[in-house]
Amino acid sequence: MTTSAHLRTVLADALTEDGTLTDPAWRDAAEAVPRELFLGSYFAQVPGSAPTRYLPVHQGEDGWLEAIYTDRTLITQLDGRARPGDVTNGSLTGDPTSSSTLPSLVLRMWQQLEVEAGHRVLEVGTGTGYSTALGAHRLGDDRLTSVEYDPVVGRAAAAALKAAGYAPRLIVGDGLRGDPDAGAGAGTYDRLIATCSVRYVPMAWLHQVKPGGKILVTLSGWSYASGLALLTVTGPGTATGRLLPGFTSFMIARPHDRPPRTTLALLPGEERPSRIDPAVIGTWTGGWVAQLAAPAAERMGAGAEQILWDVSTGSQVRTTLGPDGGWTVLQRGPVRLWDRVETAIRLWQAAGEPHQEGFGITVSAARQRVWIGAEDGPGWDLPV
Ligand SMILES: C[S@@+](CC[C@H](N)C(=O)[O-])C[C@H]1O[C@@H](n2cnc3c(N)ncnc32)[C@H](O)[C@@H]1O
């Protein structure tokens, strides 16, 4: 057995033992696809660096193969430009814009999609092509189409897939529009899986997936909170679903990313006591609720000292510890962001502070609403 095949088996064993890999057909795919073909080079984070610095690691270097068979996301592009192969000297900083997602998450999502032999599947976010190869192995090349936004990333994925012996249909374009050749009408796909996140569910997906078909996508936003949703299409342009357990996050689809902003300047505003502990919006689900309540806001800060800055109106929030215990909030601008966040957090707390899996989503052409518990429970409209 080659080293690579051995490392694949070891990883597949570990993912079986921890309960991630439950379907033998997906275990078979995990054992068959050599992840190193998709990761000739990648960026490793420089430990302790702030802001994070990335150092390229190339094929054949010490630890290159071993890292590929740990259950880790490996970054392959920064700022929509820099690829590890382009870096000739030293390390660099930047925002990750493409990667090979950690194998446990990719395999868990393929299983959660409830995909069956014969299904036609659309994947959005080809990235390195590793997840695409797993899908092509399991379903057959002719059943899978994958869309990648970035032409350079798309070309590299096409070459890697070819080298691995897979030939799914590949598209370079905006996957938020789905498959440009799908046409209008009854729906072409049985399943859609996205490995980038979205602020709302693109309408094209709801027409290209057949009624009864499923969409698996991470909902996220400009405060970087997220939840993985599994929706069932109920008719052309409509869907409903639940959020799933776990802690899933993905880089946001490029057209849904926050617009560039100026350097943050904190300005005076109206001050009052806060009715909630601001630290709650720094937690996994508290941050999700705050983002639902203030979807155009970016969140910064930590603990009791939180900052929200609404990208569309410039409205600001600053929270601090109060002088005599409690917390103080300062608000400025046309949108009283903290009023909204407080109300939302208190509704969530009254519902027992469920994790994202206690939420659901209902989508139509008119609105997209995320709710707690049941469709008639407390909810918030996504910024469609
Ligand atoms: C986390 S990576 C994908 C991981 C990949 N599935 C893998 O296993 O290697 C996300 C990818 O989504 C792509 N992306 C972002 N916005 C997109 C869009 N609107 N349409 C298609 N792809 C998009 C990014 O360029 C990036 O390559």
Q: Is the pLDDT of residue 187 over 90?
A: no
137 Cβ neighbours under 8 A, 6+ residues apart: 28, 29, 32, 33, 166
Identify the CA nearest to 187 among candidates 200, 196, 178: 178
Say if CB 318 and CB 277 are below 8 A apart.
no
Is omega for the bond preceding 180 within 30 degrees of 0, making it cis?
Answer: no
Say if CB 358 and CB 336 are below 8 A apart.
no
Q: Is the pLDDT of residue 276 over 80?
A: yes
Output the CA 102–ligand 1 centroid distance in Å. Answer: 13
Mean pLDDT calculated for residue range 6-28? 97
**What whole-number distance in Å separates Cα of residue 295 and Cα of residue 383?**
7
Domains of the chain: 3-100 (no CATH), 103-255 (3.40.50.150), 263-350 (3.30.160)
Confidence of residue 141 (pLDDT cuts 50, 70, 90): very high
Residues listed for the chain: 384
Q: Give bridge partners of residue 325 from the DSSP assignment.
A: 323
Tell me the percentage of the chain whose pLDDT exceeds 90.
92
Which pair of structure tokens corresponds to residue 165?
């012996």
Output the CA 167–ligand 1 centroid distance in Å. Answer: 18
Identify the CA nearest to 126 among candidates 159, 149, 95: 149
Q: Is the pLDDT of residue 1 over 90?
A: no
Pocket of ligand 1 (CB under 6 A): 97-101, 106, 124-125, 127-128, 130-131, 147-150, 153, 174-176, 195-196, 250-251, 253-255
Q: Per-residue DSSP letters for 28-51?
A: HHHHHS-GGGG-SEEEEEPTT-SS
Mean pLDDT of the chain: 96
**What whole-number distance in Å separates Cα of residue 127 and Cα of residue 75?**
10
pLDDT attached to residue 118: 95
pLDDT attached to residue 324: 83
Q: Which amino acid is at 35?
A: R
Q: Is the pLDDT of residue 183 over 90?
A: no
pLDDT attached to residue 116: 92
Output the CA 164–ligand 1 centroid distance in Å. Answer: 19
Could you read off the pLDDT of 59-99 as tens digits, one per residue? 999 999 999 999 999 999 999 999 999 888 889 999 999 99
Confidence of residue 372 (pLDDT cuts 50, 70, 90): very high
**What whole-number distance in Å separates Cα of residue 37 and Cα of residue 32?**
12
Output the CA 196–ligand 1 centroid distance in Å. Answer: 5
